[in-house]
Structure 1
Amino acid sequence: MSLETPPPLDKLLMSPPFQRCRHEAARTANDPAALSSLLEKVAAHEFGIGPLPDTQGGIDIDIACAVVDAHIADLTGGTTTNPVADARCRLVVAALHYLVDMNDVIPDNLPSGHVDDVAVMRWATRVARGEVPAE
């Protein structure tokens, strides 16, 4: 596998690192303090190329963070969310955990260590927008 191209998305989503992030998301999805801490890690995270800005290619980290911010507001405000929204949020939280995980499929300290993260975040953006099912 080239470090320039991420593995296919289905392999990334089934990889042990992403599965670990899904478990972490399930554990933290209803903990406002843990979610706030995750958002702080996302804002501070750097890759081998430095910070990863939103791109025209559609990763929209801000959309993923806004989904988590809204979920935190629901949790702290006592608002009940629907199961589909909760499932989407857990997948977005898993993707954000993956984004800041230094031990993902392509280590972030490598110059091309961001390509797998970009692929996962593009997928998470589509999940957040409701373009793909929350499975």
Structure 2
Amino acid sequence: MSSDTQPALDKLLTSLPFQRCRREAARAANDPAALTQLLERVAAHEFGIGQLPDARGGIDIDIACAVVDAHIDDLTSGDTTNPVADARCRLVIAALLYLVDMNDVIPDNLPTGHVDDVAVMRWATRIARGEVPAD
């Protein structure tokens, strides 16, 4: 992410809607049923422009969903021993919750309602890949 877009991302990540999603992610992170339901909501979610395609250089929703899917597998197998992976996963879960939240910073039913979601998902993808710290 370029330095000129960082202040806008910082505003999104400190916004009340994203903070609400972080709290919800903390509650849902150890609940396989809630996480499965979230993945279903992500798959069905539409914006004012319709569904947001996952494209090269795009937002890589599949990567974020794969992280959550792997976390569900870990939970159901009893493997919950990696605190760094868990912290990253909670942030990815928060980003996916933000993605499907109709009342985020820019409501998704507007034609530009995807702009904030794209920024948060790009950040979450970088978190999932370990390119930025999960703080």
The alpha-carbon deviation at position 80 of structure 1 amounts to: 2.6
Counterparts of 1:89-108 in structure 2 under 5 Å? Answer: 89-108=89-108
Query: Residue 85 of structure 2 aligns with which residue?
Result: 85
State the superposition RMSD in angstroms.
Answer: 1.2
In structure 2, C-alpha distance between the alignment counterparts of 1:117 and 1:22, rounded to whole Å: 14
Query: Residue 27 of structure 1 aligns with which residue?
Result: 27
Q: Any idea what SS the aligned residue of 1:67 has?
A: helix
Counterparts of 1:46-57 in structure 2 under 5 Å? Answer: 46-57=46-57
Deviations 1:91-117 (A, max 9, x none): 000000000000000000000100000
The alpha-carbon deviation at position 90 of structure 1 amounts to: 0.0
In structure 2, C-alpha distance between the alignment counterparts of 1:58 and 1:128, rounded to whole Å: 15
Query: What number of residue pairs does the alignment pair up?
Result: 130
The alpha-carbon deviation at position 79 of structure 1 amounts to: 1.2
Q: Any idea what SS the aligned residue of 2:35 has?
A: helix
> 1:67 aligned to 2:55?
no
Compute the TM-score of the two structures, normalised by the length of structure 2.
0.93
Moved >3 Å (runs of 4+): none
Q: Any conservation in 2 of the 1:74–1:81 contact (CA below 8 Å)?
A: no
Letter in 2 for 1:70: A
Unaligned stretches of 5+ residues in structure 2? none
Query: Residue 119 of structure 2 aligns with which residue?
Result: 119
Unaligned stretches of 5+ residues in structure 1? none
Query: Residue 37 of structure 2 aligns with which residue?
Result: 37
Compute the TM-score of the two structures, normalised by the length of structure 1.
0.93
Query: Residue 8 of structure 1 aligns with which residue?
Result: 8
The alpha-carbon deviation at position 57 of structure 1 amounts to: 2.2
The alpha-carbon deviation at position 77 of structure 1 amounts to: 0.7
Query: Residue 109 of structure 1 aligns with which residue?
Result: 109
Identical positions, percent: 85
